[in-house]
Amino acid sequence: MNWRALSAVSTQTLYPVHRLHGVVLLMLLLFTLLLGMGSSLHSRLLWIGEQTWPNYYLLDPAATEPACDRTMDIDAEIKRRMDAYKPDPDALFNDPPDPAALRESLQKNLAICEQKYQAYEINQRQATPALGVFKTIEQGMAGFLLDHIDLTKFLFIAMFAMAAAIAALDTDHIALRLPRNRSEWRFSQGIQLVVNSLMVYSLISYVGKLAQAPDSGDLIEIQYSWAVVFGLFMVINVVRLISVPERMRAGPLSASSPLIIPLHCSMALIAMSYFFFVDGYSSGLAIYFGMMTNLSSMFINIGLYVLVGMALKQTRLPELLLNIIKPFNLPAPLLASVVIFATAFPTAFTGASGIFILAVGGVVYDELRRAGAGRQLSLATTAMSGSLGVVLNPCLLIVVVAALNKEVTTSEMYGWGIWVFLLSATLFTVVVCKMEGNWRPHPAPGALRESLRRVRPLAPYLLTAAAVIGAIWLLLDLRFNEYSAPLILPLVMLALVYLDAGKNREVDQTRSQAFWGRSIAAASDSAVHIGALLALIGFSISMGGILERSDVVHLLFPDTLANPWLVMLVVVIMLTCIGMVMDPFGAVILVSATIAQAAIHQGINPLHFWIVCLVAFELGYLTPPVALNHLLTRQVVGETEVLAAERTGSFWHRYERLLLPLVVMGSTLLLVAFVPMLFYID
């Protein structure tokens, strides 16, 4: 995690030393974006071809004249074949040709020949030079897409390698706390070196097994690619072991020093211990981590969503949106409630909870503090602002659930997700207003008029976003939905960055210079967060392999457990515990392969199960010991602010940043888990 306080939104990159990496990553993500749109672009080219040249699919600029004879005399041909017939005394069946059957066959062949000539004549009339150029482009794109079906996997590996390398160089992997002295620094780097070394060993062990299997060349190539990546990480760890930052003072290890171990390393060590010593499965870590490669498109989408969030940070949009409600002078409790309602939908559009906090968490926190909210309430609201939108359209997590589980659809989950969000947000409002008091607003005279006036600066942004979405629909016939959102939103955000660059830039900068500077800054910041998130996801999946290969699920869901209410209780506890220690995307993959089918088999409705799962994960994000959303909140507001949070007053006010999310999401989870069962359990 970054040691610098990130409490202010800025159009400058937080990592200027990695500006070159930002350029490369931006180009890589944009190329991935174009590749993802390739099928839509090819389909659009086919549509244009058919509209411009009728029977486009049959036209061929390089066609040659048919070789068949369209002037054949059928009677003469029948006579020739009959005269040429000579009986073979050694043949078992030696009947002479049937003139009627022969005539019918020749007539069919002549008709086919005539059709070929007609098609050729039509082709010659329409086969203009323009058709030839267009056909070359269209077929070239089709050939490229077919020849590079597996390119996405290597693009993902390249993206992961670059992003995780930057996170390792900056020591920005997610941990429970930061190193405070040289000994802790070296301890953290040493653990990462051990993990990366064992990962290389597991990959090489897996290659040895694949070498004995037929047709495994492509898979072996991927394992070697991963081995090179983790070998690079080992080199970085050695360099950072030797090169300790000057800001690190001398000091010993303490009892709390294990908290500096990055979470992905802790997960890797737990998984390795099980695979190596319990299961005797040395290649297990490589196999489960490699599941990311099989779902490379999904994880590239995560990278694109991170870019969306960081690009949002490079604009004034968060500030302009908050300006709309400022004239009403909302007290801190009511402002916190409005923030929860208002930030849920941007959270869904950034794909996952953590990304939104990283993007605008600093703005949310600062505005709450200006409104008079205490640090505890501000920290709790900031952490929850990136969580409640997980159940709303077009959140990527629900798309992943529907892709892995055919029993549910995205439309069903989004439909119920709206009601779950309204429930949790309403509970938040009630609890905050009850515990904080002083919730009545005191709007200034003419507050509504002033608020409406402040909507006007948002109009160009809304029109620009609509224009980009409309242009993509017209050009590519690609409609905006939960599946296309990862492809369309980055283009929308880059357009908004360009618009904003013209309104808010340095005096000596052109709009283009400001745009490229901000875009590269967004990509540079994205690199760190992509690396940290993907490392956490990959080793979450690996640790989930323990649950899949062990008998834990069978022990918790025995066939004798026939009570659905008890099954749901076990599900709630397990899913919450998983959400406490695992990234949501890795957790969804794990739950799909293990708990889901066992619970559904024992009477839990599939749609109900997955809604409960998402709410349990939301609670897990906010629950110690890991509490990922709180860690990300600390990253954007600065560790100093978290340490300075009030420690006086009642027990509630001393620990409100932890208790408020637990009360709200815990109550929501219990209601969502057990109330619907009253309607479908006999």
State pLDDT tens for residues 554-564. Answer: 777 776 677 88
Range in 171-180, 415-424, 670-679 the model is least confident about: 171-180
The reported pLDDT for the residue numbered 12 is 45
| Dist. CA 112–CA 352, nearest whole Å | 59
- What count of Cα atoms within 13 Å lies in the side-chain half-sphere of residue 223? 24
Owning domain of residue 547: 540-680
Average pLDDT rounded to a whole number, residues 512-534: 86
CA 364 vs. chain centroid, Å, equals: 23
Q: Which of 104-113, 193-202, 503-512 has the highest mean pLDDT?
A: 193-202
Is 560 within a domain? yes
Task: Give the pLDDT confidence score for residue 351 in this predicted structure.
Answer: 59
- Residue 283: inside a domain: yes
Q: Which of 242-251, 547-556, 573-582 has the lowest mean pLDDT?
A: 547-556
pLDDT at 143: 82
Most confident stretch, 34-48, 190-204, 399-413: 190-204
What is the pLDDT, as a whole number, of residue 41?
84
List pLDDT tens digits, range 277-293: 888 888 989 999 988 88
Report the pLDDT averaged over residues 578-592.
84
Give mean pLDDT, residues 173-202: 92
Q: How far is residue 132's CA from residue 62's CA, in Å, rounded to a whole number?
A: 8
Token couple for 507: 């005096």
In a domain, 452, yes or no: no
Is 578 inside any structural domain? yes
CA–CA dist 41, 53 (Å, integer): 18
Task: Assign 614 to helix, strand or coil.
Answer: helix
Instruction: In whole angstroms, give the CA distance from residue 167 to residue 533.
Output: 10
pLDDT at 13: 43
The number of distinct structural domains making up the chain is: 2
How would DSSP label each residue in 153-173?
HHHHHHHHHHHHHHHHHTT-S
Q: How confident is the model at residue 607 (pLDDT cuts 50, 70, 90)?
A: very high
- The token pair that represents 215 in the structure block: 């047709």
pLDDT value at residue 2:
39
What is the model's pLDDT at position 555?
Answer: 75
Beta carbons of 600 and 608 less than 8 angstroms apart? no
Would the pLDDT of 15 be above 50? no
Cα dihedral: 188, 190, 194, 196 (round 10): 70
Please work out, in degrees rounded to the nearest 5, the angle formed at the alpha carbon of residue 627 by the alpha carbons of 622 and 628.
105
Mean pLDDT across the stretch 61-75? 82
Residues 379, 645 contacting (CB under 8 angstroms): yes
CA–CA distances in Å: residue 559 to residues 533, 566, 601, 674, 681:
37, 13, 10, 21, 18
Q: What is the pLDDT of residue 307?
A: 85
**Predicted local confidence at residue 294, as pLDDT:** 86
Give the number of other CB atoms < 10 A from CB of residue 2: 20
pLDDT above 70 for 463: yes
Closest residue by Cα to residue 354 from 383, 315, 379: 383
| Maximum alpha-carbon separation in the chain | 115
Q: Which residue has the higher pLDDT, 664 or 45?
A: 664
Coil vs helix vs strand at 559: coil
pLDDT of residue 14: 42
Answer yes or no: is 424 within a domain. no
| CB of 65 closer than 8 Å to CB of 124 | no
Amino acid letter for position 207? V
- pLDDT of 166 reads 86
Look at 72-81, 414-423, 594-603 and tell me which has the smallest mean pLDDT: 72-81
Rg of the Cα atoms in the chain: 31
Q: What mean pLDDT comes out for the span 205-223?
A: 89
Residue 89: what pLDDT? 62
Residue 57: what pLDDT? 76
Average pLDDT rounded to a whole number, residues 68-73: 82
Classify residue 250 by its DSSP letter.
P
User: Given a cut of 50, is residue 16 above it in pLDDT?
Assistant: no
Closest CA to 347 of 429, 417, 402, 427: 417
250 alpha-carbon distance from chain centroid: 40
Give me the chain's average pLDDT, please.
84
Judging by beta carbons within 10 Å of its beta carbon (0-12, 13-18, 19+), is residue 651 exposed, middle or buried? exposed
Compute the average pLDDT of residues 623-628: 82
Question: Which of the listed residues 289, 311, 342 is the one where a domain comes to its end?
Answer: 289
**277 domain-assigned:** yes
Residue 413 · residue 391 · CB < 8 Å: yes
Q: Where a domain ends, among 260, 289, 318?
A: 289
Alpha carbons 532 and 172: distance in angstroms, whole number: 7
Is 157 a residue whose pLDDT tops 80? yes
The region, left, alpha or beta by phi > 0 then psi within -120 to 50, assigned to residue 177 is: beta
Most confident of 13-22, 370-379, 406-415: 406-415
Per residue in 109-129, pLDDT (tens digit) is: 888 888 888 888 887 877 778
Q: Is residue 211 part of a domain?
A: yes
C-beta atoms surrounding 514 within 10 Å: 21
Q: Looking at 267, 289, 311, which one is the last position of a domain?
A: 289
Rounded Cα distance between 524 and 340, Å, is 28
Give the pLDDT confidence score for residue 520 in this predicted structure. Answer: 86
Give yes or no for a contact between 358 and 312, defined as CB atoms under 8 angstroms apart: no
Burial class from Cβ neighbours inside 10 Å (0-12, 13-18, 19+) for residue 483 reads: middle
Partnered with residue 181 across adjacent β-strands are: 249
pLDDT at 349 over 90: no
Tell which residue, 453, 187, 174, 138, has the closest CA to residue 324: 453
